[in-house]
Structure 1
Amino acid sequence: MTTTRTLTRRAALVAATATAALVLAACGGDGDNEGAQGSSPSSSSSASAGATAEAGAHNAQDVSFAQGMIPHHQQALEMAGLAADRASSAQVKDLAARIEKAQDPEIKTMTGWLKGWGEDVPESMPGMDHSAHSGMAGMMDPGDMEKLKKASGKEFDTMFLTMMVEHHEGAVEMATTQKAKGEYTPAKSMADDIVTAQNAEIEEMNKLLGKKS
């Protein structure tokens, strides 16, 4: 992550905090075809086996997607976990809970893929240092995370939403690449789900920040 990008984010956080406080205050409380074609049982079995092999095949992009998205999701869970006792907005707390519910199972699924492929699994522990991944799309650097941990109330709400929008945008970017270049069917399906769900949450968060779509 470049210094320019970091400074730009800092400015965005400050600006968002100043402009969104009133908005958050206002919302804070609240088989026959085969016979017809003359296919024999053996040819049907061969076709089925071929389809299964295709669905199970994977490439380097699939590995990269899983190895990148695990720490990306883990940081989102870390951010979401802070909301329970720091956020003042019920909407922010609800969003954070939904992020945890969606992304934790995905981490477990991707970990299973990597183990099955014999690939390295990124360390994934609460509170871990994500500085090694700070250049990844949407990842917060240690300084950003430290500021979020020290914030509370409406300041936390605004900072959390602003940072999570950027974080989600990074995840959508990664998932879009996976959809285009990946080979493993379940991974492409997860990527599609991530794009759909996180784009919807980006829209939701921007509305909470008082931004027009």
Structure 2
Amino acid sequence: MRAFTDPTARKLALTGVAAVASLLLSACGSANDSAGDAASGTKPGSRPSAAGSPAAGAFNDADVAFAQAMIPHHQQALEMAKLADGRAEDTGVKKIVADVEKAQDPEIQTMRSWLKAWGRPESAGRSGHGAGHAMAGMMSERDMKDLESLRGRAFDRKFAELMIAHHEGAVEMAKTEQKDGRDATAKKLADDVVRTQSAEIAELKKILDRI
């Protein structure tokens, strides 16, 4: 091969080699991106699905039952939290109320989006408002009226007692989803329910010990 003795020719040759190398690296990067997108189930250039969106994979009856039961369960927890306004006195109770309101309303919207994506109804064929009270930890209408009638420390104690039972029911349902569910996002939410509500149960028990 003839050596480049002309400095200009040598410079042009080196520039050409660099350009070819850059194109090859770019092509490899694009191929790797496409492979990664294919593995994750996303299209090239698209953003991953939101954490609360249904997973691309298959779901089963346990996933559907979890969402259908947890929606009214969360709704009742929010009803209990609303009763604390103007009635709760203990700062620990007020913190639990704020945490419930912050976490559970968005989770309700997430589970509704799952059921819509799965083509399943929200109610699971239940009839009547009272039917949902048969679920684990759900309060009766009498429980809710008793709670509504209380103020101050009496309210705080009753709220803590009822919310412990309510959370224990939610944890029970979430553990069933962990064991029997198939959809990855539903199982992730179940993990979150077990973790956060178990921690709140511990806090509520501490509140009962001091009031």
**Would you say same fold, with TM above 0.5?**
yes
Q: Aligned residues, how many? A: 168
Match of 1:56 in 2: 57
SS of the residue aligned with 1:210? helix
| Structure 1 unmatched ranges of 5 or more | 1-34, 124-128
Residues 17-36 of structure 1 aligned to structure 2 (within 5 Å): none
The superposition leaves residues 145-193 of structure 1 with CA deviations (integer Å, 9 ceiling, x where unpaired) of: 1101111111110000000000000000000000110001000000000
- Cα distance change, pair 45–106 in 1 and its aligned pair in 2 (3 A): closer
Measured after TM superposition, the shift of residue 48 of structure 1 is 4.4
Measured after TM superposition, the shift of residue 201 of structure 1 is 0.3
Asked if 1:191 is matched to 2:180, the reply is no
Match of 1:172 in 2: 171
8 Å CA contact retained: 2:41, 2:56 = no
Q: TM-score, normalised by structure 1?
A: 0.71
State, as a whole percentage, how many aligned pairs show the same letter: 51
Match of 1:74 in 2: 75
Residues 1-213 of structure 1 aligned to structure 2 (within 5 Å): 47-49=39-41, 55-122=56-123, 130-210=129-209
The superposition leaves residues 93-147 of structure 1 with CA deviations (integer Å, 9 ceiling, x where unpaired) of: 1210111101000000000000111111239xxxxx7411111000001111110
Alpha-carbon separation, structure 2, partners of 1:44 and 1:87: 51
Taking only aligned residues, the RMSD between alpha carbons, in angstroms, comes to 2.6
Instruction: Read off the aligned partner of 1:161 and give its amino acid letter.
Output: A
Report which of the two structures shows the higher radius of gyration computed on alpha carbons.
Answer: 2
Match of 2:19 in 1: none
Instruction: Read off the aligned partner of 1:179 and give its amino acid letter.
Output: Q
Alpha-carbon separation, structure 2, partners of 1:80 and 1:147: 14
Larger helix share, 1 or 2: 1
Alpha-carbon separation, structure 2, partners of 1:186 and 1:208: 33
Alpha-carbon separation, structure 1, partners of 2:181 and 2:66: 8
Runs of 4+ with >3 A deviation: 40-50, 52-55
8 Å CA contact retained: 1:75, 1:130 = no
| Structure 2 unmatched ranges of 5 or more | 1-27, 43-48
Q: TM-score, normalised by structure 2?
A: 0.72
Match of 1:16 in 2: none
